[in-house]
Amino acid sequence: MNTAPKKSLTDSVQFLKGVGPARADLLANLNIRTVGDLLFHLPRYYDDLGDIRDMGQLTAGVLQTVRGEIVELDSKELPTGKRVLSVVVADAKGRCVEGVWFGQFFVAQKFRYGLKVAFSGKPKWFRDHWTMQHPRVEILEHAGDEPINKVVAVYPMTENLAADRLRDMVRAGLDSFGELVADILPRGLLSRHGLPALPQALEHAHFPVSVSQGLTAKRRFIYEEFLVLQIALSLRRRELRDARQAPKMPADAEMDARIRRLFPFTLTQDQDRSIAAICKDLKQDRPMQRLLQADVGAGKTAVAVYALLVAVANKHQAALMAPTEVLAQQHWNTLEKYLAQSRVRRFLLTGSLSAKERRQALEDIRAGKIDLVVGTQALVSQDVVFARLGLVVIDEQHKFGVSQRARIRKQEAGDPHYLVMTATPIPRTIALTVFGDLDISIIRQLPPGRQPVVTRWLTEKQRASTYQQLREQMQQGRQAYIVCPLVEESESLDWKAAAKMHADLTAGAFGGLRVGLLHGRLDDADKDRLMREFRDRKLDALVATVVIEVGVDVPNATLMVIEQAERFGLSQLHQLRGRISRGEVAGECYLFTGMPTEEARERLKIFTRTADGFVLAEEDARLRGLGELLGTRQHGLGDLRFGDPLADRELLETARADAIALVADDPELRKPEHALLRRNVLDRYGKTLALAEVG
């Protein structure tokens, strides 16, 4: 009887041939703990060592391979204390190349005089000869032999682990465990896209015979990762919309005219297109799941108000939910302006209500005596019960996260329609991941009469003259924001920086002017009071932290100074600048910086060049990466292991199209060829997206 333990991909990597406890500890630094982790630790890129050169034809700085015999071995200690190993190889004509290793004396064990080797590296001319720092070495039987490994995988590494040893471990893992890896992708998809099956893909990814073969193998893993995500989002979309019922709420021409009369302006073409898409959704009996994203100042709120009024006109209740009370109050003020002449029964549900006021409001909502409710996430608490909720509008939804969005929906009685909106332009790559279960409408077009903001990046020498210019404009009736530097993870330091700036300005450049101070440590009542005073022109300037980033609307405030602008991301800078593009007078935005990095300098140059929020969002994603942008880590979708939605956007869109078609054909993934795919989707995203067990 065979009593040998059954092998599994979950076996500890420590017991794999060539590993052991010490190397297992090093592998743990790379999050490699099991054999499966090791097999799927894919290379970052590939070195092509096929450019074999004669030693007399080398090019500086280009990856090349030379062959020769070791003629010198030397080691010494530098004045800095660092030890250096020098190995010189010579060809038949006596020409030499020196290989140099700093602090890696374990390398010396493989060398001896007369050994035939190939050195691969980027040569540099040093004094009177070519050198290669830390070249890759292959031992040859004869000096003229072709190197066996012409393409070498380059992995994410950790200190004290040699790249060759890691490759040996991967080889051992593939030889012993490769047949245990199950392929979750249907053959039809692999064939359609020219991608290898899993066992072949693993072999090609780690030990390709050409760079193109390695990259094709990596594409297979990136595609699989994207497909699993997009299937999860398609299943969620189906669960929330296709498998549920919602009230039909049509809008006819008479209703359209009645709503438009409430707006003191003509809607733009982009707004009209978004409204048409929303109305098409609302007249269906499946819940609308739509993302409305707009550039700063492009008028998303008017579109949301239109949708809310369609629900109310259809005898249903509507709710508008914002992430903060400041934003909820801002929306309430806007609604009050638009609905001043309407009979819509509306209420602002905030934490500042007394217990008695809240009790009465909840009774009225439950009885259907209130048509439209504005509030924060508290709107979906257990004690808020609607009589006939038809539409929920969620503002700046990315601040809630995907799993929270799932809980919000599950808490609602019945199946209302959902409109998610944001004034933070989102790169398409993020829209396809974080918001991949939603239809998307975009508003880029600014309303007529909106003047562009002039943005200038200034030096410290220009500060005094800039302050004098701002002072003169404020004396003529304009208002200004002075935005204080962002201090990461420290609200107290944010506050102190703002307080110091306020004190310096009131005692100096803005002496005699009315200057307010707004920061996150103020309570809501004080924030509201300050904003009201600023809006009513009782203040000339407002020194503020990023609490003013979103939702503040003061058309007369056309001036802004952003201190230490290098500390802000592009999208955040764009949101701040959007506060001074609210009126008919061109805004002026001035940037001061401390000691910006090269990346920050590039960011600020882009910011001064364009005011298009969608262009800036793409650049922000390119510069900072998706994990940081919009806090996508909080969504549980920013931890992709292989793919980069920015670099691999085309593959992401292919995977999305395939996922939609697959779920349409097999809504519960019950076909035998989809069994492993189904299990993988639920294991990875079931909890994150609140997916029910499919079927």
Mean pLDDT, residues 230-247 taken together: 84
Q: Which one-letter amino acid corresponds to residue 48?
A: D
Q: What is the reported pLDDT for 353?
A: 83
CB of 109 closer than 8 Å to CB of 116: no
Q: How many CB atoms within 10 Å of residue 672?
A: 7
**pLDDT category of residue 487 using cuts at 50, 70 and 90:** low
Average pLDDT over residues 44-48: 93
CATH 3.40.50.300 boundaries in the chain: 269-443, 454-610
The more confidently predicted of residues 571 and 188 is 188
Res. 636: pLDDT tops 70: no
Length of the chain in terms of residues written: 695
Confidence of residue 611 (pLDDT cuts 50, 70, 90): confident
- CA torsion through residues 548, 549, 551, 556, sign: positive
Please tell me the predicted confidence (pLDDT) of residue 106: 67
DSSP H stretches of helix in 249-324 = 253-260, 269-282, 300-313
Closest CA to 502 of 485, 482, 488, 521: 482
Lowest mean pLDDT among 14-23, 32-41, 499-508, 581-590: 581-590
Instruction: Please write down the long-range contacts of 4-7, taking CB distance under 8 Å and 24 or more positions apart.
Output: 7/176, 7/177, 7/180
Strands 479-483 and 417-422: unpaired
Give the residue with greater pLDDT, 308 vs 531. 308
**Residue 382's pLDDT is what?**
75
Question: Mean pLDDT of all residues in the chain?
Answer: 86
CB 99 within 8 A of CB 116: no
Q: Which residues pair with 456 in a beta bridge?
A: 590
Q: Which residue has the higher pLDDT, 488 or 40?
A: 40
Higher pLDDT residue, 196 or 110? 196
CATH number given to 454-610: 3.40.50.300
Residues sharing a CB contact under 8 Å with residue 522, sequence separation 6 or more, in sequence order: 530
Pairing of strands 151-154, 45-48: antiparallel
Q: Which of 232, 85, 107, 231 is nearest to 162 (CA)?
A: 107
Among all chains, which residue has been given the structure tokens 């060829």? Answer: 673
Kindly state the tokens that stand for 178.
């490769």
Tokens of 402: 């995907």
User: Does the pLDDT value for residue 370 go beyond 90?
Assistant: yes
Per-residue pLDDT of 520-546, as tens digits, reads 777 777 887 888 899 899 999 999 887
Does the pLDDT of residue 177 top 90, yes or no? yes
Asked whether residue 672 carries a pLDDT value surpassing 50, the answer given is: yes
| Alpha-carbon separation of residue 44 from 157, 209, 222, 223, 363 (angstroms) | 10, 16, 12, 16, 60
Record: fold of 50-148: OB fold (Dihydrolipoamide Acetyltransferase, E2P) (2.40.50)
Instruction: Identify the pLDDT of residue 302.
Output: 94
What pLDDT band is residue 633 in, cutting at 50, 70 and 90? Answer: very low
Intervals of CATH 2.40.50.140 along the chain: 50-148
Poorest-pLDDT segment among 196-205, 327-336, 469-478, 614-623: 614-623
Q: What is the mean pLDDT of residues 130-149?
A: 86
Looking at residue 80, what is its pLDDT?
A: 80
Residue 391 has pLDDT above 90, yes or no: yes
- The whole-angstrom separation of Cα 152 and Cα 167 is 9
Rounded Cα–Cα distance for residues 240 and 231 (Å): 14
The torsion angles phi and psi of 543, rounded to 5 degrees, stand at: -85, 125
Structural fold of domain 269-443? Rossmann fold (3.40.50)
For the chain, give percent helix, strand, coil, nearest 5: 45, 20, 40
